[in-house]
């Protein structure tokens, strides 16, 4: 299990809308709200599953989000997953 933070350029509501749409368009599942949730993304080499949590109310143009990866293909690094997840947003 690994945890990292991303800074989403928008509000928590915009994050859940954009993330949910992007993940579902790729055949994954997204279940969450403006506070926390879960996701599951299928890849050619295995599934990536995780949780997210909004880290407080944004004070500027970005919303800090904590992402925890709970399952991933063994051969894929956490940094590669972080880059791929950041591309969704």
Low-confidence ranges of the chain (pLDDT < 70): 58-59, 87-89
Dist. CA 14–CA 70, nearest whole Å: 24
Please choose, from the candidates 1, 3, 42, 11, the residue with its C-alpha nearest in 3D space to the C-alpha of residue 24.
42
pTM for the model: 0.85
Phi-psi region of 68 (alpha: psi -120 to 50; beta: other; left: phi over 0): beta
Domains of the chain: 2-88 (3.30.310.80)
């Amino acid at each position: 299990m690994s945890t990292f933070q991303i800074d989403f350029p928008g509000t928590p509501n915009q994050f859940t809308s954009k993330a949910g749409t992007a993940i579902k368009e790729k055949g994954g599942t997204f279940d969450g709200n403006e506070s926390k949730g879960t996701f599951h993304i299928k890849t050619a080499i295995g599934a990536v599953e995780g949780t997210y949590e909004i880290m407080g109310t944004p004070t500027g143009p970005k919303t800090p989000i904590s992402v925890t990866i709970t399952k991933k293909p063994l051969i894929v690094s956490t940094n590669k997953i972080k880059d791929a997840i950041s591309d969704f947003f």
